[in-house]
C-alpha cells in the first residue's frame, strides 16, 4: 500500500514539475516575441546632427524667418489631427538626445514636435515625430502614416485655439545613413510640416527598423 502511495505521489510531483516548466518556457517565449515586435523609432541618423546644430544656432542668432514668424504670432501646438488615418494626437515637446539626434515621443499614442525648430505654421520646416509599431500590438500614432498621399490634409490646433491646415506634397524614405537635412531646413520662406516615423522590417541587430518614412506637407494658403 505504501508503495502505491509513493508511486502516486511521484507521478503528481512529475506532473506538477512538467506543468511548471511549460509555463516558464511559455512566458520566456512570449517575452522574446514581444521584444521583437517592439520599436523605438526615430531618432534620425547621426549624419544630420550638424544640420540640427545649424538650426539651433540660427534660432539663437535670429534671422529673416524669425522676424516673419514673430509677425505670424503662431501658438504652441497641442493637437495633430489627420482624418484619413484617424489620428487625433496630443503633442509632446522634445529636443535632442545626448548623441545629437532628434528625441522621440515617450508614449506610442503621442506625437512630438521638435521644439528647437519652427512651430507648425511658422516660416520654415516644423518637424513632428511619432512611433510606428509597438510591443504587444499596441496601436502607435503613425502606424498608418504610409497611407498618406499627395493632396491629403492634416490639421494642427494650437494653444490659442487656432487651427492650421497642411497639405501633403510628397513622401520620402531615408536609410540610416542618408542626408536628411532637407527634413529640418527650408529656404523658400514658406511654412512646412514634416512628419517622420520608422519604416521597414524590424531588425534584431539594429534593435529597430532600418529606414525612416517622412511625409512632407505645406501650409494651405
List pLDDT tens digits, range 44-98: 443 445 555 565 555 444 455 665 666 668 999 999 999 999 999 999 999 887 7
CA distances from 160 to 40, 163, 197 (A): 32, 9, 27
The C-alpha atoms of residue 65 and residue 68 are separated, in whole angstroms, by 5
- Mean per-residue pLDDT, 191-212: 72
Query: Cβ(179)–Cβ(101) under 8 Å?
Result: no
Asked whether residue 40 carries a pLDDT value surpassing 60, the answer given is no
Question: Residue 192 contacts by C-beta under 8 Å, 6 or more apart in sequence?
Answer: 124, 125, 126, 166, 186, 216, 217, 218, 219
This prediction's pTM = 0.70
Question: Residue 153 contacts by C-beta under 8 Å, 6 or more apart in sequence?
Answer: 83, 84, 165, 166, 167, 168, 220
The whole-number pLDDT of residue 170 equals 93
3-class state of residue 192 by DSSP: strand
Q: Say if residue 43 is preceded by a cis peptide, omega within 30 of 0.
A: yes
High-pLDDT (> 70) share of the chain, %: 61
CA-based nearest residue to 59, from 99, 97, 114: 114
Q: Share the mean pLDDT of the chain.
A: 74
Q: Which residue has the higher pLDDT, 124 or 187?
A: 124
Amino acid at each position: 500500500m505504501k508503495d502505491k502511495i509513493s508511486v502516486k505521489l511521484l507521478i503528481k510531483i512529475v506532473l506538477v514539475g512538467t506543468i511548471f516548466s511549460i509555463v516558464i518556457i511559455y512566458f520566456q517565449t512570449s517575452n522574446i516575441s514581444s521584444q521583437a515586435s517592439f520599436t523605438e523609432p526615430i531618432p534620425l541618423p547621426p549624419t544630420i546632427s550638424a544640420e540640427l546644430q545649424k538650426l539651433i544656432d540660427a534660432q539663437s542668432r535670429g534671422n529673416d524667418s524669425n522676424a516673419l514668424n514673430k509677425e505670424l504670432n503662431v501658438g504652441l501646438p497641442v493637437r495633430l489631427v489627420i482624418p484619413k488615418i484617424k489620428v487625433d494626437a496630443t503633442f509632446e515637446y522634445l529636443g535632442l538626445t545626448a548623441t545629437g539626434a532628434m528625441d522621440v515621443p515617450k508614449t506610442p499614442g503621442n506625437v512630438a514636435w521638435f521644439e528647437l525648430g519652427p512651430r507648425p505654421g511658422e516660416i520654415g520646416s516644423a518637424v513632428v515625430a511619432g512611433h510606428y509599431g509597438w510591443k504587444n500590438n499596441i496601436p502607435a500614432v503613425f502606424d498608418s502614416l504610409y497611407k498618406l498621399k499627395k493632396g491629403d490634409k492634416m490639421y494642427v490646433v494650437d494653444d490659442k485655439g487656432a487651427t492650421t491646415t497642411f497639405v501633403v506634397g510628397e513622401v520620402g524614405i531615408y536609410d540610416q545613413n542618408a542626408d536628411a537635412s532637407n527634413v529640418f531646413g527650408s529656404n523658400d520662406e514658406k511654412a512646412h510640416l514634416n512628419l517622420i516615423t520608422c519604416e521597414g522590417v524590424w531588425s534584431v541587430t539594429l534593435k529597430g527598423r532600418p529606414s525612416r518614412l517622412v511625409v512632407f506637407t505645406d501650409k494651405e494658403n
